[in-house]
Amino acid sequence: MAKPIAIEVYNPNGKYRVVSTKSMPGTRWINLLIEQDCRVEICTQKKTILSVEDIIALIGDKCDGVIGQLTEDWGETLFAALSRAGGKAFSNMAVGYNNVDVNAANKHGVAVGNTPGVLTETTAELAASLSVAAARRIVEADQFMRAGLYDGWLPHLFVGNLLKGQTVGVIGAGRIGSAYARMMVEGFKMNLIYYDLYQSTRLEKFVTAYGEFLRANGEQPVTWKRAASMDEVLREADVISLHPILDKTTYHLINKESLATMKKEAILINCSRGPVVDEVALVEHLKQNPMFRAGLDVFEDEPYMKPGLADMKNAVVVPHIASASKWTREGMATLAALNVLGKIKGYPVWGDPNRVEPFLNENAPPPAASPSIVNAKALGLPVSKL
């Protein structure tokens, strides 16, 4: 018999039972569910990652929908359990859904939600922060100070890289990659080289306009170039930020060979997906090239790092916090809750999952729609006319 799971209950007499596998930031998401007659159960178990068995126990015999996390294994077993309990809705509190077997969800008629449109600037800001931290050796210097080792100014103490006038390379110029590029170009007057299967016309126009502004003010204009290959970015850029999707074509996109292509003092940033980088190869490259630096928010085998990475002073590592701004995390919670609520109430699916502002406006009721259902087409769900 499964052990009981600790929960916190809101609106115990609600008609619809919605389970959240984790406590989430803010209270608006709870209130929105309660206002629509939902009983909300939040798991408070002192366990970072819930097992499949834990989540089955949470689902129980009757459950209308579940809000889950990227760290959970949502496959055949869980979707079968949710379907048996009468549930037709699941949402990740994340834009990614690599942890979800969408085919299994389709088989059991369960809508799968995610939360795009609210992470763009927040994720780009962290990528920019890691770029600066790595370039100026901020974490090393902080640890040095805290250890009581500073006994006076020295000419060579923690000399890093100047970003102004250097070249930033972006691999994957979608919403997040383009936002990061704009921050680095405008914030540090860096030149841009990017690689993407699709031309980023808006990004190119932005850099062109900013370059013209600088020229008009007597400064050196910034430039942009769309690379013909990823290798061209690796060879030319001083800072390289990864923003591709994760699929079989981008697994270990950065490996021993591609690292060898980069400049000896280059900086590699990854806020996309951990397996895009061959972490073992990266550790070895960091060892062999002490002036090469990396800033990582994601890891190949989260929550673990490959052996040796934690010892690398030329790597800045943070625990998957790219979306961890208050506004974004509260927004993600709201969108995930509304995905589940929308399916329970029979609402259509929002037409543009990246235009989420109407759902986040706290001064007005959210639209009667599910913000983002990734398998809406497979399930034949209607699209909102709003």
Look at residue 278 in the predicted model and tell me its pLDDT: 98
249 and 374 in a single domain? The answer is no
Radius of gyration for the alpha carbons in the chain, expressed in angstroms and rounded: 23
Show which of 302, 317, 332 is a domain's final residue. Answer: 317
Q: Is 43 a domain residue?
A: yes
Cα separation, 183 vs 241, whole angstroms: 12
Query: Contact, 55 vs 72, CB < 8 A?
Result: yes
Look at residue 5 in the predicted model and tell me its pLDDT: 87
C-alpha distances in angstroms, 129 versus 187, 211, 241, 248, 326? Answer: 12, 23, 12, 29, 17
Query: Contact, 242 vs 250, CB < 8 A?
Result: no
Residue 273 annotated to the active site: yes
45 and 177 in a single domain? The answer is no
99 and 217 in a single domain? The answer is no
Q: Is 84 a domain residue?
A: yes
Look at residue 2 in the predicted model and tell me its pLDDT: 52
Show which of 263, 297, 317 is a domain's final residue. Answer: 317
Domain interval for residue 77: 7-118+324-379
In DSSP notation, 45-82 reads: -S-SS--HHHHHHHH-S--SEEEE-TTS-BSHHHHHHH
105 and 152 in a single domain? The answer is no
346, pLDDT greater than 90: yes
Provide the domain count of the chain: 2
Say whether 92 sits in a helix, a strand or coil.
Answer: strand
174, pLDDT greater than 50: yes
What is the identity of the amino acid at 44?
A: T
44, pLDDT greater than 50: yes
Reference 124, options 247, 297, 358, 304; nearest CA is 297
Show which of 317, 349, 369 is a domain's final residue. Answer: 317
146 and 291 in a single domain? The answer is yes
156 and 289 in a single domain? The answer is yes
What proportion of the chain, given as a percentage, has pLDDT over 70?
99
340: Cβ contacts below 8 Å, ≥ 6 apart: 18, 33, 64, 65, 66, 67, 89, 90, 91, 113
Name the active-site residue from 17, 226, 273, 293: 273
Q: Is 26 a domain residue?
A: yes
Determine how β-strand 167-171 pairs with β-strand 191-195: parallel
For 57-115, write each residue's pLDDT tens digit: 999 999 999 999 999 999 999 999 999 999 999 999 999 898 999 999 999 999 999 99
**Angle between helical axes of 138-146 and 120-135 (0-180°, round to 10):** 60
Q: Is 386 a domain residue?
A: no
For 12-30, write each residue's pLDDT tens digit: 999 999 999 999 999 999 9
Question: In this structure, is the dihedral angle defined by the CA atoms of residues 113, 102, 179 and 289, taken in order, positive or negative?
Answer: positive
Q: Is 285 a domain residue?
A: yes
Q: Is 148 a domain residue?
A: yes
Say whether 170 sits in a helix, a strand or coil.
Answer: strand
Q: Is 384 a domain residue?
A: no
Query: Contact, 66 vs 59, CB < 8 A?
Result: yes
Say whether 124 sits in a helix, a strand or coil.
Answer: helix
88 and 180 in a single domain? The answer is no
111 and 214 in a single domain? The answer is no
147 and 273 in a single domain? The answer is yes
151: Cβ contacts below 8 Å, ≥ 6 apart: none
Name the active-site residue from 84, 235, 252, 320: 320
3, pLDDT greater than 70: no
Q: List the 315-317 sheet strands across, edge first.
A: 224-226, 191-195, 167-171, 239-242, 267-270, 293-296, 315-317
144 and 24 in a single domain? The answer is no
Q: How confident is the model at residue 1 (pLDDT cuts 50, 70, 90)?
A: very low
CATH of the domain at 176: 3.40.50.720
162, pLDDT greater than 60: yes
50, pLDDT greater than 90: yes
87 and 161 in a single domain? The answer is no
Q: Is 2 a domain residue?
A: no
331 and 299 in a single domain? The answer is no
